[in-house]
């Protein structure tokens, strides 16, 4: 049970990191971001 909870927390943190990176990339590239993805 405890292991599962930790895994979930890690997953949540990873997802947040991805979102932050996406936002940063979007700000850097701007419209180009939509073209790439």
The pLDDT tens digits for 9-36 are 667 777 788 888 888 877 877 656 555 5
Q: Are 31 and 23 in contact (CB under 8 A)?
A: no
CA separation for the pair 2, 28 (Å, rounded): 39
**What is the total count of domains within the chain?**
1
Q: What is the pTM assigned to this prediction? A: 0.37
**Domain enclosing residue 8, as ranges:** 2-36
**What pLDDT is attached to residue 21?**
84
- pLDDT at residue 37 tops 60: no
CA separation for the pair 20, 26 (Å, rounded): 10
Q: Are 18 and 10 in contact (CB under 8 A)?
A: no
CA separation for the pair 16, 7 (Å, rounded): 14
For residue 32 the two structure tokens come to 């180009």
């Amino acid at each position: 049970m405890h292991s599962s909870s930790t895994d979930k927390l890690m997953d949540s943190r990873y997802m947040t990191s991805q979102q932050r990176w996406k936002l940063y990339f979007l700000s850097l590239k701007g419209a180009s971001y939509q073209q790439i993805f």
